[in-house]
Amino acid sequence: MKTLADLKKIREKAQEEMKLRGGNTRIKIVVGMGTSGIAMGAREVMKTFLEEIANRNLTDVLVTQTGEKGLSSMEPVVDLIEEGKPKVTYGNMTPEKVKKVVVEHIVNGRTVSDYVVATGN
Amino acid sequence: MSLKRIDLLICCGSGCISAGALKIKERFHEVLQEKNLANEINIIETGCMGPCDYGPVMVIYPEGTFYKAVSPDDVEEIVNEHFIKGRPVARLMLQDEENTFSTQKEVPFYQKQVKVALANCGYIDPESMDEYIATGGYEALGTVLTTMSPQETIDLIKKSGLRGRGGGGFPTHIKWQMVHDNASDEKYVICNGDEGDPGAFMDRSLLEGDPHRILEGMMIAAYAIGANAGFLYIRAEYPLAIKRIKLAIAQAKEVGLMGQNVFGTKFCFDAEVRTGAGAFVCGEETALIHSIEGSRGNPTPKPPYPALQGLWGKPTIVNNVETFGNIPTIFLKGAEWFASMGTETSKGTKVFALTGDIKNTGLVEVPMGITLRELIFDVGGGMTGGHKFKAVQLGGPSGGCLTVEHLDVPVDYESLKERGAMMGSGGVIVMNDTKCMVNIAKFFMDFCVDESCGKCSPCRIGLKQMLDILERITSGHGKEGDIEELQRLGEAVNKLSLCGLGQSAPNPVLSTIRYFREEYEAHIRDKSCATKVCLDLMHFDIDKSRCIGCSLCARKCPVTCITGSREDKYTIHQLDCVKCGNCQDVCPVKAVSRIPGMHPEVITKREAEAKSGNHHDE
């Protein structure tokens, strides 16, 4: 390391590793992980989100989990929360649908209306 | 590869480690492995998070959930409920009568705190240099080396108003300027980590929790004064601090942040750790320097100041760990920002180790000028067990006691000094109304007699004389004139001692006489210790109206001084009683109580002995 620019490179990479603690995220993905959600495959859904986001090197996305959301018939349920936009809730998610949501919604900013079960708070 | 979704920060400061944090960490590794979650969750060991009383503590991001008093048995529940189902475990959260505090930010302990030196403590992994860099680490050093001259560096510190955090409060820039102006082929920077006050753990926590920050501060100082070598003097009782600082030095050297031509400039620096054997006097800068040189850790008269003739006779600055901890942030955020906190003469923040009879013992950092009331009752959470606040000892064995009437005094160097206490390095011992102030003064005097290096006679002999008088008073042999003699001796030792240890050692006695003179008088004149701490000045008594004559006390008495029967109830023979307290502990009906004051029978016996010239007690 010889310059401030070298230091900046290390810093950016390290900040990326620590982003869970910083809260500088554009989109928060909240997977419903209640008993029924898990029974319907929420773990697979969560895992696919984590893999897809890592593969695409999306640095401003946060994946987290929540409990039962009350939409048991539509599990697994996932909320996408974006700063300044109404919350979008996707239902009946599968790993395939997750891949599409990542490409369409998270990368291109277009809601996948086929999977949407609710919007707003 | 998969993305992590949870950062689990486990506090691994010494307090939490002794409460079992490492076992909890192991258990998390096991459970996550079992559940196949290991690649989704980061387990990070951090330095001290502060609220040691709640330990072991942990914080879980992204939510910032705060769990306290976690045991290895709770781990499975945390994983199942929180990590898998997203339902934080409420019973492990901090709760009071009305509220549950789910995240770290909400916890009242943190509300009035402003973290500068401790900013990363409990937030980053102290063994990862990358995490330190992520928080802006080494940027201050890079900026200083590439854009500022040494004089500009000193000027910025001058503007910030930073003063030494080790106790004396000497303006940092003056030390730096003296060494800077003193031309020499070799100069040294020393980091004083010889923290030895009873109840103080600020330096240890900083070294353990954010070692790179201290190194960066040292290197900026080295550049400013023109030094290219430094030593960290840390006592051997701090093995974790030593291990982490050594690791930090190795990491910094590996990437070239320490060593030759740092940031491509002419600046070269090398740091080494020196372990101290744990002598309190080695916190004094001249003694510390002698100890590093390999000689006995004795102080020498100043002048010459270390700034002129320090380590191996070369110009040297000695700064405290916390002082160095403030420096990187001052350069990142600016001198004005730093100077905007605090009072007229004391700028910035101060780290305190809160201990004693308060709810939230632990490590805190608050802006200078905060009142003692805010520090003790808001940050510290008030007194435990419904007891009343009696006194607070600031500055350890060198400091003094303050009382209820001082609760609204702002905490800064001058205000405390005026009232007979001192900032010291930051140990704050809070005491409730069950503490005997004469006994407290004796405790600190005993410590200083032990730690006196013996080089100068005022300290070696004077302190021992003071201790003898205090022992006389607490054992019931005090006489008129003892208080005045303590004051006379205290002032003499203060004026005549060679170094800070002796000069400040009488403070606890002098300040307790100043504020609790009536307690000393009661000990001497009435032979009574109102708090029932001094065993010679209290006695045990059995309340016959409550005694059921069970004989337990008589059977447990090691000197068989309790006699009686079921009908007559039991009586303690005061002359033989050794005050062990067994009778009180075993009594099933609480008929035994402690009564302040020497028993009249004992007083009569002692008077008779004194007349016959038989002084064997004294």
Q: What is the pLDDT of residues B151-167, one digit of tens each?
A: 999 999 999 999 999 87
Report the relative pairing of strands A61-66 and A27-32 from DSSP bridges.
parallel
Cβ neighbours for B23, distance < 8 A, ≥ 6 positions apart: B72
Cβ neighbours for B223, distance < 8 A, ≥ 6 positions apart: B141, B144, B145, B150, B153, B267, B269
Helix B321-333 / helix B211-225 crossing angle, nearest 10 deg: 80
For residue A63, give the nearest of B3, B61, B123 by CB distance.
B3
Residue matched to tokens 């600031």: B394
pLDDT over threshold 50, residue B2 = yes
Give the integer Cα–Cα distance in Å for B263 and B267. Answer: 8
Q: Quick one: pLDDT band at residue B618, thresholds 50, 70, 90?
A: very low
Chain B residues touching A38 at Cβ < 8 A = 84-85
Give the integer Cα–Cα distance in Å for B424 and B416. Answer: 10
∠ CA B51-B169-B447, nearest 5°, is: 65
Q: Which two tokens stand for residue A115?
A: 């999977």
The predicted structure's pLDDT at residue B484: 97
Give the integer Cα–Cα distance in Å for B131 and B496. Answer: 49
A-facing residues of B in 75-114 (CB < 8 A) are 83-87
pLDDT digit string, tens, across residues B604-616: 999 998 888 765 5
Which domains are seen in chain B, by residue range? 6-107 (3.40.30.10), 129-339 (3.40.50.11540), 349-432 (3.10.20.600), 437-524 (1.20.1440.230), 535-611 (3.30.70.20)
Helices (H), B314-377: 321-333, 335-339, 372-373
The predicted structure's pLDDT at residue B611: 87
Chain B residues touching A4 at Cβ < 8 A = 139, 142-143, 146, 263
Is the four-CA dihedral B459, B461, B465, B470 of positive or negative sign? Answer: positive
Q: Which of A97-101, A109-113, B252-256 has the highest mean pLDDT?
A: B252-256
- Mark residue B199 as left, alpha or beta (left: phi above 0; alpha: psi -120 to 50; beta: remaining): left
Cβ neighbours for B434, distance < 8 A, ≥ 6 positions apart: B387, B531, B533
For residue B256, give the nearest of A2, A28, A38 by CB distance.
A2
Mean pLDDT is lowest, of A32-41, B168-177, B293-302, B374-383, for A32-41
Residue matched to tokens 């990862």: B128
Task: Note the ipTM here.
Answer: 0.80
The predicted structure's pLDDT at residue B526: 94
The predicted structure's pLDDT at residue B203: 92
Give the integer Cα–Cα distance in Å for B359 and B84. Answer: 33
Q: Helix or strand or coil: residue A8?
A: helix
Chain B residues touching A2 at Cβ < 8 A = 256, 261, 263-264
Q: Helix or strand or coil: residue B306?
A: coil
Which string of DSSP letters, residue by residue, matches B127-165?
A: T-HHHHHHTTTTHHHHHHHHH--HHHHHHHHHHHT-B-S
pLDDT digit string, tens, across residues B344-396: 999 999 999 999 999 988 899 999 999 999 999 999 999 999 999 999 999 88
pLDDT over threshold 90, residue B140 = yes
Asked if B162 and B330 touch (Cβ cutoff 8 Å), the reply is yes
pLDDT over threshold 90, residue B4 = no
Cβ neighbours for B511, distance < 8 A, ≥ 6 positions apart: B399, B400, B401, B402, B420, B421
Question: Measured between CA atoms, how close is A108 to chain B, in angstroms?
Answer: 20
Gyration radius of chain B's alpha carbons: 27
- Cβ B255–A17 below 8 Å, yes or no? no
pLDDT digit string, tens, across residues A18-52: 877 876 677 888 888 877 888 888 888 988 988 88
A-facing residues of B in 390-419 (CB < 8 A) are none
Residue matched to tokens 């033989």: B576
What DSSP character marks residue B537? G
pLDDT digit string, tens, across residues B523-561: 999 999 999 999 999 999 999 999 999 999 999 999 999
Comparing CA positions, the residue from B597, B398, B363, B362 lying closest to residue B493 is: B398
pLDDT over threshold 90, residue B581 = yes
Buried b (16+ CB within 10 A) or exposed e, A70-105: ebeebbbbbbbbeeeeeebbbbebeeebbeebbeeb
- Give helix then strand counts, H and E, for chain A: 5, 5
For residue B7, give the nearest of A15, A21, A54 by CB distance.
A21
Q: Which residues pair with B103 in a beta bridge?
A: B65
The predicted structure's pLDDT at residue B1: 45
pLDDT digit string, tens, across residues B203-241: 999 999 999 999 999 999 999 999 999 999 999 999 999
Q: What is the mean pLDDT of residues A71-86?
A: 82
Residue B347 backbone dihedrals phi, psi, to 5 degrees: -100, 160
Mean pLDDT is lowest, of B110-119, B243-252, B322-331, for B110-119
Supply the mean pLDDT for chain B.
Answer: 92
- Mark residue B272 as left, alpha or beta (left: phi above 0; alpha: psi -120 to 50; beta: remaining): beta
For residue A64, give the nearest of B62, B87, B139 by CB distance.
B62
pLDDT digit string, tens, across residues B80-139: 888 888 788 989 999 888 888 888 888 888 888 999 999 999 899 999 999 999 999 999
Instruction: Please tell me the CATH superfamily of domain A24-119, with its number.
Output: Glutaredoxin (3.40.30.10)
State in Å, rounded, how far the first CA of chain A is from the last one.
Answer: 48
